[in-house]
Each structure stands twice: as structure tokens, then as C-alpha cells.
Structure 1
Amino acid sequence: MQQRKEVRLFRNNRSQAVRIPVEFELPGETVFISRDGDRGQSRRPQEHFLRRHISTPSW
């Protein structure tokens, strides 16, 4: 069953932010966000995506 909860939006300088309740806490420090009409979705970056798109310094 999909969980659903109403949350609050707020402004942080010029960015809009959402308060995420603890039961929806996401691991890590970044997420991808997308918009489809009036629907917003977020997801964690996948490890294979990061390996393919981020190069490590070769010093």
C-alpha cells in the first residue's frame, strides 16, 4: 500500500522547499526531482548512473 500524507511548502530564499516527515525520510544528500504537469516526483540517484556520469580525479 502506498503511503500518502499532506506536507507543507515553504520558501528558502528564492527556492521553494517541502518539509519531509520523518516516516518519508530519504537516505543520502541528493535526490532527482521531476515534474509531470501538477505532479512532482523524487528519487535517489542510482549508483550505476553516478558511476557513468561522474568521473574521479586522476591525480
Structure 2
Amino acid sequence: MTLRGAVERLDTATTTNVAEKLSCEYDCAYYYLKKLEEDGTIRSEKIGNTILWHAE
């Protein structure tokens, strides 16, 4: 499964949830999610201390 695929499939795609889904470290997931956001593939929404990721 890809990062984008995890974001699409999870009801609540937080960085932690994506990392758990892909069995990787939080920092690794966050780094690549930010890269996908820079490319315009996904977008983020900050709610309190939580970042939600949405597929575009």
C-alpha cells in the first residue's frame, strides 16, 4: 500500500494512523506525507494538535 492509498482508505487519516497502517515510524510517514502535500497529491488540515490528511 502507498501513502496516498493509506490516506484514501483511512476514515481518519492522521500521521499516526498512516504510520501504523504502513508499519513505519511516525517521522518517516510525516516526512513523505509533507512531500506529497508539496506535490499537490494530498492536502493537510490542522485541527488542534492533529493533522488530518486528505487525498486530492
Q: TM-score, normalised by structure 1?
A: 0.33
Is the radius of gyration larger for structure 1 or structure 2?
Answer: 1
**Structure with the larger helix share:** 2
**Structure with the larger strand share:** 1
